[in-house]
Structure 1
Amino acid sequence: MVNKYIEDTMMKKFFDICFEFEFYLKIAITCTIFQQLFYWLLHYINIELNFITQVLLYSLIGSISFYTMGIFIENVIKKNDTLREKLNVRVKQVKKQTFHSFTAKGIIIGEIRSFIAALIILYLAPEVDRGYSLLLNLGWFLMRIVVFDFCFYVTHWLFHRKSFQKIHLKHHEFPDTSSFVAGHKTLAEYIIVTIAECLPIFIFGYDITQLCAWTIIGNAYNLEGHSSLSIFFIPSDFHDLHHTCFKGNYGIQGFWDRVFKTLNPPTKKPGIMFPVASLEKIVMK
Structure 2
Amino acid sequence: MLPSQASIALRHQYMDALIEQDVRLPWMEVLADNFLNIDNLHFYRAEPLFQHCPLSLHCIGMNLGAMEALNEEYLHAVKLLADRLDAKQVSDHVCFHSLEGAHSYDLLPIAYHPENVRYLAGRLSYVQRFLGRPFCVENISSYLFHRQSVLSEGQFLAGLAELSGCGILLDVNNLYVNGLNLSNDPEAAKDYALQQMAELNAEQVWQIHIAGHQRTSWGAIDHHGAALHEDVLTLLFEATRLYGRKPVLLEWDHNIPPLERVLDELNVVSTVLSAVEREPLGVE
- Provide TM-score, normalisation by structure 1: 0.25
Relative to its length, the structure with more strand (as a share) is 2
Larger helix proportion, structure 1 or 2?
Answer: 1
Task: Choose between structure 1 and 2 for higher RCO, CA contacts under 8 A separated by at least 6 residues.
Answer: 1
Larger Rg: 1
